[in-house]
Chains A and B, each alone.
Chain A
Amino acid sequence: MSRTIVRMITAVLEAQGLVKRYGDAVALDGVDLTVRVGESLAIMGASGSGKTTLLHCLAGIVVPDGGRVTLATANGRLDMGSISDEERSELRRTTFGFVFQQGLLIPELTAVENVSLPMLLAGASRREAERQASAGLASLGLEGLDHRRLGQLSGGQAQRVAIARAQVMAPAVVFADEPTGALDSRTSMEVLDALIASTTGRGRTLVVVTHESAVARRCDRTVHLSDGCLTGVDEHRSAS
Chain B
Amino acid sequence: MNRRQAAGICSRILVLASATIVIAILAFIICEVVGRGAGSLTWQLISTTPSYLNGTIGILPDIANTIYLLLFSLVLALPIGVISAIYLTEYAHPGKIESCIEFAIETLSGIPSIIYGLVGMLVFCQLFNFKTSLAAGACTLAIMNIPTVIRTVQESLKTVPQSYREGALALGSGKGHTIWTVVLPNAIDGIMSGCILSAGRVTSESAALLFTAGFAHSLVPLSEALSSPGASLSVALYVYAKEQGEFGVAFAIAIMLLIITFLINLAAMMIAKAKKKQI
A complexed with B: no
Residues of A within 8 A of B (CB): none
